[in-house]
Structure 1
Amino acid sequence: MKILLTNDDGVHAPGLAALVRRVSEVGEVVVVAPDREQSAVGHALTLHHPLRASRIAENIFAVEGTPTDCVNLGIHSLLTFRPDLVISGINRGANMCDDVTYSGTVAAALEATLMGIPAIAVSLATTGAGEHYDAAAEVAARLAVTVQSNGLPPDTFLNVNVPDLPAGDLLPPLITRQGKRSYEGTIVGKVDPRGRNYYWIGTADQSYQDIPGSDYHAVSRGHVSVSPLHLDLTNYASLEELKRWELR
């Protein structure tokens, strides 16, 4: 396999380093990752200023841009081959439930899928710095081989969340669906030394709904969660109801 690796924690993140070590054993690896942390940038694409990319080591490029930029630039300019697979991660912190819409890690896999390339987003479900990236990298490598053998359904990529546990303590992977989270976040407002207001977003505790069959339900019990996500955001259950509207 020829594999493009990226992330949203930055090119020097420990999760990416663990991924490189293990995935290099199953394929030829090139890293194209942001030069700094780009967490929660979603599917942002840089359009209004040029991107700069630096080759910082053999087959490792740092890009002054978002994870989506990295996938675009890597596939269209930096790589000498079209990758068989894109793996994004290993993210520090879970990407579960409704949070996937914010995630740069997930967005990089989505971008690869738009280009017709199989993709996997991998996150370590930790609230701290993370201890067991090597265990998550083992999960990613095994999934890479499985995807190579079986392929993925059209317009589908995998969102994988791994509990922060030693490999021997992880329970078997479960195929899950995207769960739900309660959003009751607070915004902390403060005043700087010059008397101007500033604000911190994202300061509230995470509150996931413990729904059977969901990604959070699996991870909270020690299972690896593997959720198939796709690109079509249409709410098909609402189509017939909306067709009854008298739109003018």
Structure 2
Amino acid sequence: MFEPLPDLSRARILVSNDDGLDAPGIKVLERIARTLSDDVWVVAPETEQSGAGHSLTLHDPIRYHQRGPRHVAVRGTPTDCVLLGVKLFTGDRRPDLVLSGINRGGNMGEDITYSGTVAVAMEGTLLGIRSLALSLPFADPDAIPWDTAEAIAPDVIRRACAVRWNRNVLINVNFPDCAPEQLQGVRVARQGKRVGSSRFSENLVERVDPRGRPYVWIGVEQITDLEGADTDLHAVAANHVAVTPLCIDLTDEGTLAEMETAF
């Protein structure tokens, strides 16, 4: 079990993301982290890596450069950033906490399986570090309510870290797309699922480039038909912060029993 961290002022915090070191969300998250501790390190991709999932660079060298004290830009995936941050960049003391985000867009339901933001927290968890992923869905890209996340995130992080949780679990947090005064509180919710097919599979745009070669854009389709009132999707739609524990162990016990009878 991860034991409680009731006093985060003594914690070493590693901040990363998948939107890149220059993304507005990671700047917000760094400010949040600095309200919790003075010992904050930022290691993030040099360029945006959205949708990278839990991928690792194996066939190319991973280049990096310092962007200031305790700030490193990595030419690699979000997973690379956490691995290097923990093993190389944070010195002789491992981080006590990994914070990922704040992602520019939600990571709920099926999105979790693609998410580089969640992958940061997943890698932190695999390395034995308590980890949280934080995301913020939005309807208007010119009016993303970063102030809402900044207002409530410190309390959410403190409360989550003040209790024990299993060492193969990460915490996935999604903030609602609303003003701070419209927040309806925090809800612990299970991972949801949108009704119908994958949000990506139905929005493939086929085109031809100027040289006559075909290519495809994978678009993002917004699906509003949701299953289950106790899910992250419903919580955020109702202006709640959704807090969802996710387990690294993907084994399905019911099917495991069925396979034992088959084999």
TM-score range (shorter-chain normalised) is: over 0.9
Find out whether 1:244 has 2:255 as its counterpart: no
Change (3 A) 1:144 1:204: closer
In structure 2, the gaps of 5 or more residues are 1-10
The answer (yes or no) to whether the contact 1:132–1:164 under 8 Å persists in 2 is yes
Taking only the aligned residue pairs, the percentage that are identical comes to 43
Q: Which residues of 2 match residues 1-248 of structure 1 at below 5 A?
A: 1-27=11-37, 28-80=39-91, 81-129=93-141, 130-181=143-194, 182=196, 183=198, 185-245=202-262, 247=263
Q: CA deviation at 1:243?
A: 2.2
Q: CA deviation at 1:19?
A: 1.1
The answer (yes or no) to whether the contact 1:9–1:92 under 8 Å persists in 2 is yes
TM-score (norm 2): 0.89
The answer (yes or no) to whether the contact 1:7–1:33 under 8 Å persists in 2 is yes
Deviations along 1:183-238, one digit per CA (max 9) or x if unpaired, are: 25231111111000010113433345241111001111111000000111111122
Change (3 A) 1:117 1:50: same
CA distance in 1, matches of 2:68, 2:182: 34
Query: What one-letter code is carried by the residue in structure 2 that aligns with 1:18?
Result: V
CA distance in 1, matches of 2:87, 2:223: 37
The answer (yes or no) to whether the contact 1:23–1:140 under 8 Å persists in 2 is no
Partner residue in 1 for 2:3: none
The answer (yes or no) to whether the contact 1:97–1:208 under 8 Å persists in 2 is no
CA distance in 1, matches of 2:102, 2:191: 19
CA distance in 2, matches of 1:151, 1:86: 16
The answer (yes or no) to whether the contact 2:82–2:124 under 8 Å persists in 1 is yes
Query: What one-letter code is carried by the residue in structure 2 that aligns with 1:197?
Result: P
Q: CA deviation at 1:2?
A: 1.1
Change (3 A) 1:127 1:45: farther
In structure 1, the gaps of 5 or more residues are none
RMSD between aligned residues: 1.5
The answer (yes or no) to whether the contact 1:180–1:208 under 8 Å persists in 2 is no
**SS of match in other structure, 2:185:** strand
Deviations along 1:91-111, one digit per CA (max 9) or x if unpaired, are: 011000011000000001000
> How many residues end up aligned between the 2 structures?
246
The answer (yes or no) to whether the contact 1:23–1:137 under 8 Å persists in 2 is no
CA distance in 1, matches of 2:21, 2:55: 18
TM-score (norm 1): 0.94
**SS of match in other structure, 1:171:** coil
CA distance in 1, matches of 2:98, 2:168: 14
**SS of match in other structure, 1:123:** strand
Query: What one-letter code is carried by the residue in structure 1 that aligns with 2:131?
Result: A
The answer (yes or no) to whether the contact 1:83–1:117 under 8 Å persists in 2 is yes
Bigger mean CA offset, 17-26 vs 227-236: 17-26
CA distance in 2, matches of 1:243, 1:57: 54
